[in-house]
Amino acid sequence: MSQLTFLEKKDKKLINLKEASEWASQYLNRNVTISNISYLLQYGRINKYGNNGNPLLNAEELKDYYDSLNKEKRLKKILGDDLNWHLSFVEYTEAERTKHVHRLHPYKGKFIPQLVEYFLDSHTDGFKKEVYFHEGDIVLDPFCGSGTTLVQANELGMHAIGIDISSFNALITNIKVEKHNLLLIAEAMHKLTSRLKDFQKTRSNIIFEEHLLSELAKFNSKYFPSPEYKRKVSRGEINEDKYATEKENEFMDIYYALVEKYRIKIKQDKNDTFLDRWFLSPVREEIDFLSEELKTTIDNEDIRRVIAVILSRTVRSCRATTHADLATLKEPVTTTYYCKKHGKICKPIFSITGWWQTYTVDTLNRLKEFDKLRTNMHQLCLTGDSRTINISEEVKKVNPELAKILSRQKIKGIFSSPPYVGLIDYHEQHAYAYEIFGFERKDDLEIGPLIKGQGNDARDSYIQGIAEVLKNCKRYFQDNYDIFLVANDKFNLYPKIAELSEMRIVNQFKRPVLNRVEKDRDTAYAETIFHLKGK
């Protein structure tokens, strides 16, 4: 299809979803699905013509919309011209960036699998001029996080060892890379779900939430019709703040009437822990019920560990917060509220059932999908401090066969993203999981946590910490090792880190970070992949 087919013919400005999808895919040089186009109509980004049975849109409006999102030109002005745009991976859809087990559990600060593949695989191009890793090599990630490096190393036929100070992070990673009996897991999940439904029969939160959803649907259809409402807001025809506050208060009467009718207890009695503060009382009761059932009725350790990850993912999605604040919590929400993200009145969650059932199916599908791709290489994430851990001894305790390979050929190098100084408290982001499962927290051993800030003392401590990790790990390296560290080094700390580690920075790959999932996805942002070698 010619790129300008629709734009050259004045009598064919209106196009259907399929035609728009095909044109946009060609124009942007990436796959744009019909669902992507439907999203633009649903959220009022462009006008909808025709009717619901046959929605049409204006091709010129579609082109204008995409032109306004030309991030490359905008970011070059802000971040400079030395960015490697190939490393933005903008051509990949969200489904591709979160393929198979990479979306098994949310995790702040993880990089996309395509970035790992780029440096680990055997291709070369104008930027990557040599091959650094080969099949059968051992790759190390001393800041393993959620295990992206280990998963991709497996796909590429490489062994991989991860290390993380967080026992919960190690659990997420190992569940991703280990083999599981999916049939037994499915049977166990079915039994737990049946018990949960029996438990819910003694409570009224399910029928309350169903009634609440029905009232919300009627109210939103009347006062926040989609996409007309959002179009009027974007054109300034409606004062969003004033109108939304008025309607939010109006619906509150309906909400409290339903709470009283079904005798729903909203707030918990205590406010001491994360689970106390961030979950409505009916949700907390279901969490406690399932976690106890998991501990007392599931004997198989592997099944229990997989279900623990499913439960944790479910719990995270059921926190009492607004849709806009899911990534960064602000204040607990105990009533219905106007949601800027969706442009209507929304509600907090009163039962975990929906997400529990969704994530059960999704997890099994993702594990099954990865099983089709996995190689017979060894992957393992150790729980420990990368500054001091004896990698050989710890691997030997868990996987003697991998320990023999490590002793024989040593580690070829690192691909990792160390913590960014003063950005994230890595234990706190999963505080609920530590409370539910009783994992030991080691916050004081985190390198560069948010709580320590970004001042000079924090930076000095960060430099020392990362350097100690590299010095400890290189004892297990081959002579001609390659280290790739992904960092947003706005304080220029990595030259000093390299010096203290007795290494040298031989190259830097600067990439724009697009397709971010946080609220600030449009913020100008770049990161550097530092390539280090021995002196």
Question: Do 206 and 235 fall within a single domain?
Answer: yes
Question: Do 415 and 467 fall within a single domain?
Answer: yes
487 in any annotated domain? yes
**What CATH code is carried by the domain that includes residue 493?**
3.40.50.150
242 in any annotated domain? yes
Question: Do 232 and 357 fall within a single domain?
Answer: yes
433 in any annotated domain? no
Cis peptide before 106 (omega within 30 of 0): no
Question: Do 336 and 445 fall within a single domain?
Answer: no
Tokens at 213, concatenated: 């959803």
Question: Do 524 and 493 fall within a single domain?
Answer: yes
Q: How far is CA 417 from the centre of its chain?
A: 15
pLDDT tens-digit series, residues 43-80: 777 888 887 678 999 998 898 888 767 666 777 777 77
Burial class for 242, CB neighbours closer than 10 Å (0-12, 13-18, 19+): exposed
- The domain tally of the chain equals 3
Residue 393 has pLDDT above 70, yes or no: yes
Helices (H) and strands (E) in the chain, counts: 22, 12
Burial class for 165, CB neighbours closer than 10 Å (0-12, 13-18, 19+): buried
Structure-token match 């029905």, residue found: 214
435 in any annotated domain? no
How high is the pLDDT of residue 515?
Answer: 59
- DSSP state, 51? E
Domain boundary among 15, 44, 69: 69
434 in any annotated domain? no
How high is the pLDDT of residue 477?
Answer: 98
Residue 305: phi and psi, rounded to 5, are: -70, -40
Mean pLDDT, to the nearest integer, of 468-488?
Answer: 97
- Antiparallel, parallel or unpaired: β 344-346 and 337-339: antiparallel
Longest dimension (CA), the chain: 73
Q: Which domain holds residue 144?
A: 72-167+375-427+441-534
Give strand pairing partners of 16: 56
Question: Do 412 and 295 fall within a single domain?
Answer: no
Could you tell me what percent of the chain has a pLDDT over 90?
76
| Lowest model confidence (mean pLDDT) among 5-14, 91-100, 199-208 | 5-14
- DSSP state, 278? S
| Lowest model confidence (mean pLDDT) among 162-171, 345-354, 446-455 | 446-455
Q: For residue 337, give every residue at least 6 positions away whose Cβ sits within 8 Å of its Cβ, in sequence order, or none.
A: 248, 322, 345, 346, 347
- For residues 511 and 79, the answer to whether their CB atoms sit within 8 Å is no
Domain boundary among 365, 386, 418: 365
pLDDT tens-digit series, residues 426-436: 888 899 999 99
Question: Do 153 and 244 fall within a single domain?
Answer: no
Question: Do 394 and 526 fall within a single domain?
Answer: yes
Dihedral (C-alpha) 246, 248, 253, 258: value to the nearest 10 degrees? 160
pLDDT tens-digit series, residues 1-16: 344 444 443 445 799 9
How high is the pLDDT of residue 390?
Answer: 99
249 in any annotated domain? yes
Q: Give the Cα separation of 491 and 275 in Å (integer).
A: 36
- DSSP state, 326? S
CB-facing half-sphere around the CA of 415: CA atoms within 13 A: 27
How high is the pLDDT of residue 68?
Answer: 66
Q: For residue 331, give every residue at least 6 positions away whose Cβ sits within 8 Å of its Cβ, in sequence order, or none.
A: 321
Question: Do 100 and 230 fall within a single domain?
Answer: no
Question: Do 290 and 159 fall within a single domain?
Answer: no
Task: State how far the alpha carbon of 231 is from the alpha carbons of 275, 300, 400, in Å.
Answer: 39, 54, 62
Length of the chain: 535
Q: Give the Cα separation of 250 and 430 in Å (integer).
A: 36
Buried b (16+ CB within 10 A) or exposed e, 452-476: bebeeebbebbbebbbbbbebbbeb
By C-alpha distance, which of 140, 137, 160, 138 is closest to 484? 140
- For residues 19 and 2, the answer to whether their CB atoms sit within 8 Å is no
Domain boundary among 24, 44, 69: 69
- Global pTM? 0.86
175 in any annotated domain? no
Question: What secondary structure does DSSP assign to 71-118, as a single string?
Answer: HHHHHHHHH-S---GGGG-TTS-HHHHT-GGGGSS--TTPPPHHHHHH
Question: Do 410 and 359 fall within a single domain?
Answer: no
Question: Do 57 and 79 fall within a single domain?
Answer: no
Q: What is the mean pLDDT of the chain?
A: 92
272 in any annotated domain? yes
Could you tell me what percent of the chain has a pLDDT over 70?
94
Higher per-residue confidence, 215 vs 72:
215
- Antiparallel, parallel or unpaired: β 379-383 and 159-164: parallel
Mean pLDDT, to the nearest integer, of 335-361?
Answer: 97
